[in-house]
Amino acid sequence: MDGQLGRWRATYTPGSWLLLCGPAAAVVLEPADASWSDLVETLWDEVVAADSIGDLAARLAWYRIDTMPSFAAFFWGPDGMRSLVRGSVSVVDAESGDVVATGEGVQTWVEAGLGDLRQVRVELPAERPDGAYPLPLVVGAVGVSGVFLDASDGASPSSPQGADSSEDGADDDAPEPDALDAGPETQALSADELAALHDDELVTGQAEPTARTAHENADTRWVAVPELPLEPPAPAASPEPTVSAVFCPWGHPNPPGSGRCRVCTALVATQAARSVPVPTLAVLRASNGETAEVVGSVLVGRAPARDRARVADPVLLTVNSPSHDISRTHLEVFASGWDVEVVDLNSTNGTLLVGPDGSTRTLAGGESVTAELGSSLELAEGVSVKIDFPQ
C-alpha cells in the first residue's frame, strides 16, 4: 500500500515571499533576507509539528511572527481546511474566483474555516519573475509569488517508499545494513576483547595486534588524535526570563487560567501551559507622548541612569521637567512574572499611583507595588505616565 506524504498538494510560482509547507500545515510569510537562514529551518520544524490551527498560531507567536504586517497560515484538520490571514494576503476559491478570506485592514489575525473548499489560491502582492512557471511542492520551504493548495480527493501525493514494510513482505529477521555491508573477512569482537582493546588504548594509545588485525580486516583506520590544551569553558549566558503561558486562538500569550485574552479579549481554551519568554506586559504612555514597552525594566525620569535598574539593559523613558521637580531617575516599572511592579526610587517629590477605579496611593521611597493595567503614575509638574494594555 502506498504511503501518503501529505494531506494536500501545493503548487507555487517562484518569488520573494516564503512558503513553509508541511504534511498538514502551510505558512506564507513576507520576503526575508539571508539573516533568516537559521530561523527558516526552525520555523519549518514548527509548521511540521503543529497539530491544529490554534497550535500553529501559538507556535508562530512564539517567534513574534504575529507582529509581521502580512502573512497567511493554513491547516488541514478533521473539519477541513482552516486559514489565518493578515495584511495584504487574500485566499481565493480556485473554482469560483471568490475571495473567501482577506487580511486587509486587520490589526490581529482573521481565522476562516474554508468549509467544503478543497482548492484555494493564495494571492500575494509579489511580482512573478519572468519565465517562472508553476512547480509542485509536498513538504519544504521555497520562495514564492503565488500558491495553489489542492486538497481534493486523489490530489495528495503518495509514495511506495512510505508504505509499511511489513506489508511488502519485509523480513523482520533480516540483518542490519551495517552487517550486510561488512566484508567477508570481518571478525566480530567479543565483549571481553572490546574491553581489553579499550584498556590497552587507555594505557598505550594503541591496540593489541589481535584486535588491530580484526579492525583492519573491517577496513577500520586508526588515526592518532593530538592532545589539545584544555580551555576553560565559556561563561554561560544569562538565561532569558520566562513565564508559563496559555494562548488565545490568535497566538497571544496569557497567564495560566485566563478565560479571555488580555490583548484581544478572545476566549482562551483550556490547555496545558508552557514556558515562554516574558512578553510585553504593558505599554507606558507618558503625557509628553513618549512610550515604552514593559518586558524587563523601564526607568522613568527627567534623565534616567541605566545603573539604577535591576537588569543590565533597561529601557529609558525620559519625561519633561523644566523645574526639575521630577528626579533624574524617578521610578522603575518592571515585569515580575505576569505582574507589573512599580517602585519609587527615592524621588524628591514622590509618586502617586492612581488605579483604574480612581483610587490613589502615594508610594514611599523604595516601596514596590503591583500596578493594574489602566493605572497611571502622577510624578510632578503635571507629568503622568499611564500603564496601558499591550497592543
* CB-facing half-sphere around the CA of 391: CA atoms within 13 A: 9
Query: How many other β-carbons are positioned within 10 Å of the β-carbon of residue 376?
Result: 18
The predicted pLDDT at position 125 comes to 87
Between β-strands 331-336 and 25-29, what pairing exists: parallel, antiparallel or unpaired? unpaired
pLDDT tens profile 240-251 = 788 999 988 788
**Cα Rg for the chain, rounded, in angstroms?**
30
The predicted pLDDT at position 351 comes to 94
Question: Which parts of the chain sit beneath pLDDT 50?
Answer: 1, 163, 165-191, 193-223, 225-226, 228-229
Domains in the chain: ranges and CATH: 3-159 (no CATH), 282-388 (2.60.200.20)
This prediction's pTM:
0.43
pLDDT tens profile 98-140 = 888 887 765 555 555 666 777 889 999 888 888 888 898 878 8
3-class SS of residue 199:
helix
The predicted pLDDT at position 371 comes to 95
The predicted pLDDT at position 309 comes to 83
The predicted pLDDT at position 362 comes to 94
Output the CA–CA distances (angstroms, integers) from residue 90 to 73, 85, 103, 273, 358, in the order listed: 11, 8, 7, 33, 45
**Assigned C-alpha cell, 183:** 566484508
